[in-house]
Structure formats: C-alpha cells, structure tokens
Amino acid sequence: MASPRRSEGISKLTGRERYVDDLAIDGCWWGMTARSPAPRGRIREIRFGKGVDWSEFVVVDHRDIPGPNEVRLIELDQPVLAADRVRHVHEAVVLVAHPSREMCRRAIREIEIVVDREPPALDFRVTPSPDQIQYADDNVLKHLRIEKGDVERALAGAAHVVEEVYETGAQEHVYLETQGMLAWEDDGVVTVSGSMQCPYYVLNALIHALGRDEKQVRVVQTPTGGGFGGKEDYPSNIALHAALLALKAKHPVKIIYDRGEDLAATTKRHPSLVRHRTGVDSEGRLVAQDIEMILDGGAYVTLSPVVLSRGIIHAAGPYACDNVRIVGRAVMTNSVPFGAFRGFGAPQSLFACERQMDRVARAASLSPAEIRRRNLIRDGQTTSTSQRIDDGTDRLAVLDAALRRSDYDAKREAHRSFNASHPYLRRGMGLASFYHGAGFTGGGEVYLASTQHVAGLPDGRVEVRSASTEIGQGTRTIFATIAASRLGLDESDIVIAEPDTSRVPNSGPTVASRTAMVVGHLLELACDDLRRTLGLPKDAPGDAVRAAIIARLASHPSEELVGKARYKAPPGIQWDEQTYKGDAYGTFAWATYVAEVEVDLRMFETRVIAFDAVQEIGKVLNETLARGQIQGGVVQAIGWALTEDFVWKDGAMANAQLTNYIIPSACDVPPIGVEFLENPYPHGAMGAKGIGELPMDGPAPAICNAVADALGVEPTTIPLTPERLMDLMTEAGVA
C-alpha cells in the first residue's frame, strides 16, 4: 500500500513554503551579532568605530535585558549577552539593528570587543590546571554512574579481557536552512517567529529573560529547514536577541545567520572519549563491561547532563551482561557550547561499544556476527540499568535479516580473493548491532507531562493542536494519519494547527525520537477524549464523529470543542534517578546495520559501497517517511564517521565554511538499503516506536569495523579521514 503523501510536500517542492527569511514584513529591520574574539577573559572595553553613523542603529547589550541575563535551560549559567566575562569564542556580546542588512554587516566590523584573556581550558581529555578551573572544583559539569554486579571480580575470572580507548569528534548539524528569527511587539505582546524545534523552550526562555508573563509572549514556529537537534536549544538565544532588538528598535527585527556564522557560533555534537575494559568467558559470553565515558561539555551546561545520561545508558550496547560499571562525566571547556544532536550521546557511546565488540570477537576467536549472536539480549534479561527487556522482539532475527540482506558471508569470502589480487583496493564488511531508547530518559516524560489537544471545527474536520513541530521528519503527515485512523476519518479531514504557543498546548519538545511514539499516542488519547466529549462510544465510525462535531458546533457556536490528553507513564515503569537503576526508556528500537567499504590505498580513502539498515521499530506509520529518516540518518552518520572533521582554534571552528566542513554529496554515498521489522509497542501511536535518532548510532562503528576487516588495522577515532587512516597504517607498519 502506498504511503500517504507528505502533506506539505508539493509546497516544498515548488518553493512555495515560506521559511522565516522568506517573510516580507513591512518596516522590518535586520539584526546582527558582535561576538567574543577570545575563548576566555574579562571584557575590558567595547569600542564602536567611526566607520558608521551609530545614530542610525539600535545597539543592545546586556544592560538592555529586562529580566535575568540567563538563557533558561537545565541550568541558568549561560548569559543572553555576555556582560563582564566571556567563556568562548563567538559568544554573543552586542547586538545591532538597522533597516539595511549591508549596514549591519559594516557596523559589526566596526565593533571591537577588547578582552583581557585568561587561561582557557581547551582539551576535555586533560585534567585542568588550577587557573583553568571555572566550574565547581574540577570543571566537571556532571558525574553519572551505572553499576550492576561486581565488575572487578568478573574481570578477574574472565577468559579474555580487551581494553581500548575510542574517540569521536564534534559534528555540525548543517541543517540547510540556517538559524533565523523574527521578533516584534504588538499590543504589549512580544511575538517571536522562526526556525525551531521546540516552541515552548523558546517561550520559557523569553518569559524568563524578558521578565514577562506568559500572556505577554508568543512563539510561532515557521516552516523549519532541518534541525537534527541544532534547533532544540540554540533558537532560545537567537529568539532573545531578536526580541531585545525589536523591543528597543520598536520595529520588527529579523536575524538570519549566514552559513559561516551558523557554523561558527551555534552548538555541535559533543566530542567524546570512551574507555572500555571488557571481559568474556571462553565461549565469548560477556562477563564484565567496565566503561568510562567523557564528553566535552563546552563553555556552558546547555544539555550536556542529559546527553551524558543517554550516552552512558546506551554505552553497554544491546547485550546481556551481569557485571557492568559505567562512569560518565561531562567536562566544561572554553569551546563553543555543545548541544543536542540526533542521537544525543548514544552515537558516541555506541561507536565505542560496537568497535569494542569486534575486538572482543577477535580475542575470543569468534566472528563479528557470532559474538553478537551469543550476547544479544534475550527477553527476560536485563540491560545495564537492570531494565528487564520483555518486549517479544526477536533481536536475533534483526541480526539475521541484516546478514542476509547484505549477503554478508558471501561478500566477505569474495573480498578475501579480491584483496589478495588488487594492487591498491581493499574491501571489507562491518556490522553493528544497537538499540535506541525512544522518548525522554528515565523520569523525563513524567516531568514534562506533555499535553496534546484536538479540536472539532464547524465543518466537521478536526484540528490537531500540538507544539510538536514539522522539521522535515514528517510530523504533519504522521499526525494526520494517527488522528484520522483513531477517529475513522480521512487524512483530508484533519487540519494541523500552526505551532503557535497562543493556540497549541505544550506537547513537549520535538526531540528524542518522541514525536510519533509519545506525542502521537497522546494524540490518540486526545481523539478518544474528543469522542467522549461528543458522547460517542469508542467504536463510533468517522461519519458519526463528523456529524456529531457539526451538530455540536452548530448548536453551541461559541463553544471550544476540544479533546485533551496529558502524559502518564505506562504501567510498571520504574526509574531511580539516584541509583540510575530501572526502566531508562519505555521501549527501545533494535537494529543491525551492515557496511561494505572499499579502501583505496593510494589515497587512504574509505568509500562506503553498500549499506544495509535493518531495524525493528514497532510499527511503520508511513513507509516513505520512515525510510527517509533511516536513509538520511545513515548518510549523516557516514559523514560523521568519515569526512566531517573539525579544525579547532581557540575552541572554535577554523573550517567554518561548507567548502571545508565536508558533508556527503550524492556521489559520496551508496543507495541505503532499508528493512523494517515490526513488533507493535502498545504505548506508541498505532504501535510505533521512535526512529529519528536510531540511524545515527550504527553506521560509524559498522564502517570502521568494515575498515578493520579490509585492512587488519583497528580504527579507534572518528572521523576516519584519509589522513588519519594513513597515520594509523603507518603506525601499524602496514602503509
């Protein structure tokens, strides 16, 4: 059966979709940001040059902030605009607005921020010296720990113990639409409209720093050209900047970042270092996993504690092991802050885990497939947090489907003779088995207590009111499918409300692979509530629903006919935040990915020549959209694994151009084969589990495992650029 078409697809394909920079607003001024040149220090002076007439400009600094100078997130450590100190290069210090964008650019060049420099902490792997300490007494933003069984005793009795250290680099989201916000004040209400994932995060940040109440602030999401986590937290900063300028200028103000500014100043994926010490018995069964994960937290806390949390929870992989110790810490540095990015810590820890499993396989003289077959978690067994897995998913079937689909064994065999005869090409196969927990971690969903509404319209259609945003993944289309299915209506009977905080309830942020599964399920419950409100039985057909809506609103035209739902944890979910024990997630999606690579030993280039992604995701709601999520995620992960390298200078990106930060083009990746297995999850919409982040987890280890298979060297650091592979082979004496 063909999937329903993306509801806004034609509008996007024809360029009619209006993004924030496409909105022509009368009297709108442009806003721009002057930033710190130094990674750390005291602001001594801000010099305004003579090259522009400053009387034409509105200039905003920290003194113009009506409320606390804090961007509201997990902690309140990040200022909206740096006041007396800066903690990273490109930190926002001064804002300017002018009717002409060109004049703003000239003005920014005329602003000199003079900083008395202090010693920055720039390497999260190195213990900071006393004069680099800026947070607590060790610069550690967050410590976390998971314990299960007795790791030391188990390691002492293990047949083989394998130790290795893995490192992953930062990654830039490169959503194709750069960050942008438009703000204006009208009748005492500040409205901010722009590119974002989480309207209520932005709303709460505005309420806090502008010192306003909820009624005086409104946030509207415009069509958003990609997010990947990059528009989870950072939009609060730029929204505040636009709002401050608009309030002072008494004009609408639009801030649209150039690509260079977006690359340089916005958040990235956290770099990581993960240390593994793994013990197996003589049969290759895991007896102990001792893991340490360190994240570069960057200059402010942002979301680092929860990224670390997801990272360590996924660190032991989808395996059963009775003795596990995972310690994690996120370390403050004077780097441009790291934030949310698809996968949220799990890709980092799973890269290490799945590379480590291949090393363990070699130590135990097992094939990569066999070590996973022996250790993949079975129903009734527990994860590292002692979460009992009992979902009825056949995880071995996922592994077998991936091996079959990729022709794994036959290709490995063929590659042996190919590699023996070719002068400079080497081929290899690599696999990774992994899982991804959908929704907020631990008690997060209970804390969020998301709400979701549906409203009857006078013509009998139903409007979905949600703060969950369309950012490319297909929220609008999926929500129409879910609501239509629940109410027995056609998708054309469903209207999706614009995410406008004055009209839609707080259904939580559009993150954590939670939209289809968690919010989609709330949508189902809200539909049930609507039916109840209409006095209809649970199985009332769509025609009856439509007729009842029309009748009710005809007789009570001023009434709001709204069905509502609020999140409640599924029965039996237990989580202890103190001990990190219990049900870390309501459910997991399970996957095995296989990469086939060809390494060209002339230039040490690794090319992925085939890729197969097999996953169990509960229920596929829309085949085209689900496949697109997997294929896009895999390719984004191929970039992270191979080419997306950072050149750092003073904790900032020296290669902040798309010419020098290399994301894959169509020529750099093969077709991505996708297969879904389904085992409906009773608490997800129509049985669905989350999938958005899953495909980010598996490709990097699968690719590096394939390189190891091809070359007999063990990559431990990504991106595995040709330069890095050359060094690795030179060190190994095989270059």
Partner 1 sequence: MSKPQAEKIEIELTVNGQPVAVSVSPVERLLDTLRYTMNLTGTKEGCGEGECGACTVVLDGLPVNSCLVPTIQARGRRVETIESIDPSRLSELLDSGATQCGACTPGVVMSACWVLDHPDLCDSHSLRELMAGNLCRCTGYDGIIDGLAAALDASNQRPGAGA
Partner 2 sequence: MKLLTPGTVPEATAMLRDSGGRAKPIAGATDVFVHWPVRVPADDEIFIDLSGLAELRPHRWTDDELILGALTTYWDVITDPRAAEEFAILVQAARTVGSIQIQTRGTWAGNIANASPAADGVPALMARDAVVELTSAEGVEQVPLDAFYLGYKRFVMKPDQLITAIRLPRRPHHFESFIKVGTRRAQAITKVGVAIAHSDAGWRIVANSMAPTVRRCRALEEALDDQAPLRSPNDFTPLLTRDLAPIDDIRSTAAYRLGVLARVLYHELAPVCGSVGPSGAAS
Interacting residues toward partner 2 by CB under 8 A: 101-102, 105, 109, 258, 260, 423-424, 601-605, 643, 647, 654-655, 657, 659-660, 662, 664-668, 722-723, 726, 735
Q: Which is nearer to partner 1, 19 or 418 (CB)?
A: 19
- Stretch touching partner 1 by CB under 8 A, among 151-159, 355-363, 569-577, 654-662: 654-662
- For residue 424, the partner it binds in partner 1, partner 2, none, with Cβ less than 5 to 8 A by kind, is partner 2
- For residue 554, the partner it binds in partner 1, partner 2, none, with Cβ less than 5 to 8 A by kind, is none
d(CA 400, CA 551): 55
Q: Which is nearer to partner 2, 410 or 647 (CB)?
A: 647
Strands 85-86 and 41-48: antiparallel
Q: Which is nearer to partner 2, 369 or 634 (CB)?
A: 634
Q: Which is nearer to partner 2, 305 or 651 (CB)?
A: 651
Give SS3 for 411.
Answer: helix
> Which residues, numbered 597-626, are part of the site for partner 1 (CB under 8 A)?
624-625
Q: Does 516 bind partner 1 (CB under 8 A)?
A: no
- Omega before residue 719 within 30° of 0, cis: yes
Quick one: which of 26, 51, 129, 420 contacts partner 1 (CB under 8 A)?
Answer: 51
- For residue 174, the partner it binds in partner 2, partner 1, none, with Cβ less than 5 to 8 A by kind, is partner 1
DSSP single-letter state for residue 21: G
- Stretch touching partner 1 by CB under 8 A, among 78-86, 348-356, 419-427, 634-642: 634-642
- Stretch touching partner 1 by CB under 8 A, among 14-22, 135-143, 197-205, 683-691: 14-22
- Rounded to the nearest 5°, which phi and psi values hold at 172? -100, 140
Q: Which is nearer to partner 1, 52 or 377 (CB)?
A: 52
Question: CA-based diameter of the chain, in Å?
Answer: 84
Count of positions (residues) in the chain: 735
Q: Does 658 bind partner 1 (CB under 8 A)?
A: yes
Rg of the chain over all Cα atoms, to the nearest angstrom: 26
Please report how close the Cβ of residue 254 comes to partner 1 at its closest, in angstroms: 12
Buried b (16+ CB within 10 A) or exposed e, 514-533: bbbbbbbbbbbbbbbbbbeb
Give SS3 for 659.
Answer: coil
Q: Under a CB-based contact definition with an 8 Å cutoff, are residues 124 and 140 in contact?
A: no
Q: Which is nearer to partner 1, 175 or 435 (CB)?
A: 175
Please report how close the Cβ of residue 283 comes to partner 1 at its closest, in angstroms: 38
Quick one: which of 633, 687, 690, 701 contacts partner 1 (CB under 8 A)?
Answer: 633
- For residue 109, the partner it binds in partner 2, partner 1, none, with Cβ less than 5 to 8 A by kind, is partner 2
Please report how close the Cβ of residue 242 comes to partner 2 at its closest, in angstroms: 19
Q: At what angle do helices 395-406 and 408-421 cross, to 10 degrees?
A: 40
d(CA 516, CA 621): 9
- For residue 129, the partner it binds in partner 2, partner 1, none, with Cβ less than 5 to 8 A by kind, is none
Site string for partner 1, 449-478 (x = CB under 8 A): ----------------------xxxx----
Query: Which DSSP string corresponds to 265-326?
Result: HS-BPPPEEEEEEEEE-TTS-EEEEEEEEEEEEESS-TTHHHHHHHHHHHTT-SB--S-EEE
- For residue 423, the partner it binds in partner 2, partner 1, none, with Cβ less than 5 to 8 A by kind, is partner 2
Site string for partner 1, 106-145 (x = CB under 8 A): x---------------------------------------
Strands 588-600 and 111-117: unpaired
- Stretch touching partner 1 by CB under 8 A, among 34-42, 203-211, 601-609, 657-665: 657-665
Strands 672-677 and 605-616: parallel
Q: Does 627 bind partner 1 (CB under 8 A)?
A: yes
- For residue 21, the partner it binds in partner 2, partner 1, none, with Cβ less than 5 to 8 A by kind, is partner 1
d(CA 467, CA 506): 6
d(CA 370, CA 351): 19
Please report how close the Cβ of residue 392 comes to partner 1 at its closest, in angstroms: 30
Cα→Cα distances 368→49, 316, 358, 362, 641, Å: 63, 16, 6, 8, 19
Quick one: which of 375, 631, 643, 717 contacts partner 1 (CB under 8 A)?
Answer: 631
Q: Which is nearer to partner 2, 37 or 297 (CB)?
A: 37
**Single-letter amino acid, residue 290:** D
Please report how close the Cβ of residue 341 comes to partner 1 at its closest, in angstroms: 12
Question: Which tokens in the block code for residue 520?
Answer: 């989609």
Please report how close the Cβ of residue 354 comes to partner 1 at its closest, in angstroms: 20
Please report how close the Cβ of residue 109 comes to partner 2 at its closest, in angstroms: 7
Please report how close the Cβ of residue 569 comes to partner 2 at its closest, in angstroms: 45
- Stretch touching partner 1 by CB under 8 A, among 96-104, 480-488, 644-652, 718-726: 96-104
Q: Which is nearer to partner 1, 331 or 620 (CB)?
A: 620
Give SS3 for 627.
Answer: helix
Query: Which DSSP string corresponds to 66-111?
Result: SS-S---SSSS-S-SS--SEE-STT-EEEEEEES-HHHHHHHHHTE
- Burial of 381 per CB tally in 10 Å (0-12, 13-18, 19+): middle
Helix, strand and coil percent figures for the chain, each rounded to 5: 35, 25, 40
Q: Under a CB-based contact definition with an 8 Å cutoff, are residues 332 and 299 in contact?
A: yes
**Single-letter amino acid, residue 28:** C
Site string for partner 1, 250-269 (x = CB under 8 A): --------xxx---------
- For residue 601, the partner it binds in partner 2, partner 1, none, with Cβ less than 5 to 8 A by kind, is partner 2
Q: Comparing C-alpha atoms, which of 120, 41, 72, 51 is closest to residue 239?
A: 72
Residues that bind partner 1 (CB under 8 A): 2, 5-6, 8-19, 21-22, 24, 50-53, 56, 100, 102-103, 106, 173-178, 223-228, 258-260, 471-474, 624-625, 627-628, 630-636, 657-659, 663, 665-667, 669, 671-672
